[in-house]
Structure 1
Amino acid sequence: MTKQLLVLGGGTAGTMIVNKLRRRLAPEQWAITVVDRDDRHTYQPGYLFLPFGTYRPSQVVRSRHRFLPDGVDLVLGEIHRVDPEERTVALTDGHRLHYDYLVIATGTSPRPDQTPGMLGEEWRRSIFDFYTLEGATALASALEGFDHGRLVVHVTDMPIKCPVAPLEFTFLADAWLRERGLRDRVELVYVTPLPGAFTKPIASQHLGSMLEERKIAVEPDFLVEHVDTARRMLVSYDEREVPFDLLVTVPLNMGAEFIARSGLGDELNYVPVDRHTFQSRAHDTIFAVGDANDIPTSKAGSVAHFSVEVFVDNFLQLVSGQPMTGSFDGHANCFVESGGGKGLLIDFNYDTEPLPGTYPLPVLGPMELLKETRANHLGKLAFRWLYWNVLLPGRPLPLPAHMSMVGKSRPADQTTTPAA
């Protein structure tokens, strides 16, 4: 009897999984189905560049069908509910899909509706996001008409997708304004719920220095309670206020609503899983991969890539009756655009924070860690081609899934700090 693997979400993690597993699961024994609401796959790291005209919307959108292999069915529809006991998924149109194993890869999304005043009359007038295609495109138009005032970049709360992206936007905005001779007419402010620029001490110190060098003010430990649109003001729970003329915000990020309806998630709709195998803590036939789970590392494309490598081998062991031996270590690496045609690279995992050094090879690099270089910037731009042509199709990328300490060095005045 044919078994059914059902993958909810045709984004980065879901697409990589089905491409890799379709090659390795016998088609006469396994049927594979992907469910998503539409046939639009977006290259989400490209959203960062849309407001500054580096990319056009057409360069970050392609068809999901294009990246799914023969022998994988794509069902377009909204997911209503998962029934783990019956092993079925109900769609809002009434259809029910059976599964033997379920992979939840529906990611995370910005929820401006969760902050009072954010999603109101000023939404995409003086308040913008860039974590959606529509938001980034609207922000591009707003920036074209912005030549003076107070530009505030704001993070509502953690976790968020790609936690360095708000910093990248801030650095790119600084460079963009300088290129146009407008920087002296614009006050740039970075507002964060964190005590510093980033979650890990060494990287936070380095990135904080970069903000200071660019005369970007930082408002730390700011937990927004509401947005006062009449006065154009961010108001925190401790009653601090941050005025703005143009607000670029990262709303609260949450998992899909069907996860809550199914009783599978935490308070932010992320599926609690074993952080090494991605298996649901409540149901052994359910896995959550990519941004949809609650593992304590960055919600980023690199994490999806590295975790899929571990998941695929583990899944093949599981369905053949063997114990899962792979263990994900929380490996993440992220390019950080810093403006002026330069960028940084950070590489870390559950136990090791970002450190200086070279990547992926010692001495040779060619990427340097925690250092602004032209090579890092070019690496970020080149990744778009790799994403469409290598990563999504599930082709081998010669980067180890587990983090290596080779090429890294810890500053002498730093002690070991777990990154999880």
Structure 2
Amino acid sequence: MRTLLILGGGTAGTMVANKLHKRLPRDEWTITVVDRDDDHPYQPGFLFVPFGTYESDEIVRSRHHFIADGVTLVYGEIDRVSPDDRVVHLEDGRELDYDYLVIATGTSPRPDQTPGMLGSEWHKSVFDFYTLEGATGLEKALDHFDHGRLVVHICEMPIKCPVAPLEFTFLAEAWLREQGLRDRVELTYVTPLDGTFTKPVASAHLGGMLEERKVEVVTDFMVESVDPDRKVLVSYDEREVPFDLLVTVPVNMGAEFVARSGLGDELNYVPVDKHTLLSTAYDTIFAIGDASNIPASKAGSVAHFAVEVFVDNFLEHVAGLPMTGAFDGHANCFVESGDDKALLIDFNYDTEPLPGKYPIPHVGPMSLLKETHANHLGKLAFRHIYWNVLLPGHPIPLPALMSMAGKEVPDAPNTDSREA
């Protein structure tokens, strides 16, 4: 018997386990998934918790419920991987052998990496919303916030779901208007980027939306520390941004065991081939989802599309054949913009988000780079799809690789667009 060991039972790890369980001969393979606990959060739901849209029990379910029968689920903290021996060591002393290893332990916010962030104001006037604890605490803080300066802040890139801070800003602006507080609150968006997003066309479009909503944007801000006593963000070039309520996205890093195992880069992400997701150091190790260092968004859609390519590649690889699939970095993200509207962006390694229609060219029903109510409904509907279709490994009728069909590509400056 050969053993496939999957570290991490989140989005990517669960999909890999369920899809390969259907494809690998059960009399030749065992599949084991390792995670620290049985709580599987629907992470896109954290964004909505501060505004009362979701309760915590709506976005956290039992991990084992989504793992296929016949796949072993092991609970425990991972201490390290011994790749030369093909052994994973757990902190309680257990050892798990493997023939092939998939690292899918994601990325996590690390407020400890920024001096002062975990100071006296943590979860008082300084919050994250990338954890359930932070999101629920922020909901209570917003209930008592009626004036002052609300700052939305990103420490550094890459981060999990890079559009989420923008979404929070748009939702907060709409919520403040609904509460009759917008004129009493100064809203500021602080980013280490030179614009609002990593891709120029989308950055200009989203930046224009912030300007329309009278949101101040502070760019190229590399945070050095948070001063909790004075309630200011301090940058390395000594600029300061004061706040009354700070909603921050801490530094994101991969799992610590990756560093202890000598498998990661400076942020604990596993270096892999960006098309096959195979480790650049070991041909028995793959990293998928947020755990890898591929130059794509750390988002659930990327994990989903990557898994679709990975499964066939893995079957070829373990059969001793060349891997013929090439993941293109496809990302597909709804961007909540408030007032029951959202945008949709669709892009990959080489092509930035463009306007158009998705998934059916000229028809949609989703519009790309345009605020619509249909996109908002699509964002909300995805929670049902996530639990009932995506995690179980059922097919979704969307291409894993990005298509240019339906996208409007500018021919040249000052000319009309054409649809590809």
TM-score, shorter chain, exceeding 0.5 = yes
The reply to whether residue 107 of structure 1 matches residue 85 of structure 2 is no
- Structure 1's unaligned 5+ residue stretches are 416-420
Aligned with 2:16: secondary structure? Answer: helix
Aligned residue number for residue 418 of structure 2: none
Cα offset, 1:319, TM superposition? 1.4
Which residue number in structure 2 is paired with residue 156 of structure 1?
Answer: 155
Give the equivalent residue in structure 1 for 2:335: 336
1:90-169 equivalences under 5 Å are 90-169=89-168
Residues 20-419 of structure 1 mapped to structure 2, 5 A cutoff:
20-413=19-412
User: Within 2, Cα distance between the matches of 1:126 and 1:176?
Assistant: 18
Three-state SS of the structure 1 residue aligned to 2:408 is: coil
Structure 2 residue runs of 5 or longer lacking an equivalent are 415-420
Q: Which amino acid aligns with 1:336?
A: V
C-alpha deviation, 1:413, in angstroms: 4.6
Q: Deviations over 1:81-115 (max 9, x none)?
A: 00000000000000000000000000000000000
Tell me how far apart the structure 1 counterparts of residues 211 and 317 of structure 2 sit (CA, whole Å).
50
- In structure 2, the partner of 1:418 is none
Would you identify which runs of 4 or more consecutive aligned residues in structure 1 move more than 3 Å?
Answer: 411-415
- Alpha-carbon distance in structure 2 between the residues aligned to 1:218 and 1:338: 16
1:375-394 Cα offsets, whole Å, 9 max, x none, are 00000000000000000000
Deviation at 1:321, TM superposition (A): 2.1
Give the Cα separation in 2 of the matches to 1:355 and 1:401: 18
2: distance between equivalents of 1:283 and 1:132?
32
Aligned-residue sequence identity (percent) comes to 75
The TM-score, its normalising length taken from structure 2, stands at 0.98
Matches of 1:29 and 1:186, distance apart in 2 = 62
CA distance in 2, matches of 1:377, 1:411: 26
TM-aligned CA deviation for residue 142 of structure 1: 0.5
Post-superposition Cα deviations, 1:228-282, rounded to whole Å, max 9, x if no partner, equal 1110000000000000000000000000000000000000000000000000000
> Partners of 1:133 and 1:414 in 2: how far apart?
45
> What is the CA-CA distance between 1:410 and the residue it aligns to?
2.0
The offset of 1:411, in angstroms, is: 3.2
Q: Which amino acid aligns with 2:58?
A: Q
CA distance in 1 between counterparts of 2:268 and 2:216 reads 33
Question: Offset of 1:300 from its aligned partner?
Answer: 0.3
Matching residue's letter, 2:27:
E
**How big is the shift at 1:17?**
0.5
What is the rounded CA distance, in whole Å, between the counterparts of 1:374 and 1:363 in structure 2?
A: 18
Take 1:413 and 1:221, find their aligned partners in 2: how far apart are those partners?
29
| Distance in 1 between residues matched to 2:38 and 2:286, nearest whole Å | 23
AA aligned opposite 2:229? A
1:46 and 1:91 map into 2 onto residues whose CA distance is 30
What is the Cα deviation at residue 63 of structure 1?
0.4
Q: Please provide the CA RMSD for this pair.
A: 0.8
The residue type equivalent to 1:114 in the other structure is: Q
Whole-Å separation in 1 of the counterparts to 2:259 and 2:120? 29
CA distance in 1, matches of 2:35, 2:135: 22
* Shift in alpha-carbon separation, 1:90–1:192, aligned structure 2, 3 A: same
d(CA) in 1 for partners of 2:27 and 2:334? 42
User: 1:412 Cα shift?
Assistant: 4.5
Change (3 A) 1:170 1:392: same
In the TM superposition, residue 120 of structure 1 has moved relative to its aligned partner by 1.2
Shift of 1:322: 1.4
Distance in 1, Cα, partners of 2:250 & 2:413: 33
Map Cα deviations across residues 199-240 of structure 1 (whole Å, 9 max, x no partner): 110000000000000000000000000001110000000000
SS of 1:107's equivalent? coil
Q: Deviations over 1:313-350 (max 9, x none)?
A: 10011112211100000100100000000000000000
Other structure's SS at 1:117 match: coil
CA–CA separation in structure 2 for the residues paired with 1:411 and 1:317: 39
Paired residues in the alignment total 414
CA distance in 2, matches of 1:218, 1:63: 40
In 1: Cα distance, 2:283 partner to 2:290 partner: 19
Q: Amino acid of the residue matched to residue 156 of structure 1?
A: C
The amino acid across from 1:257 in the alignment is E
Q: Distance in 2 between matches of 1:275 and 1:260?
A: 20
Once the 2 structures are TM-superposed, how far is the Cα of residue 41 of structure 1 from its aligned partner? 0.2
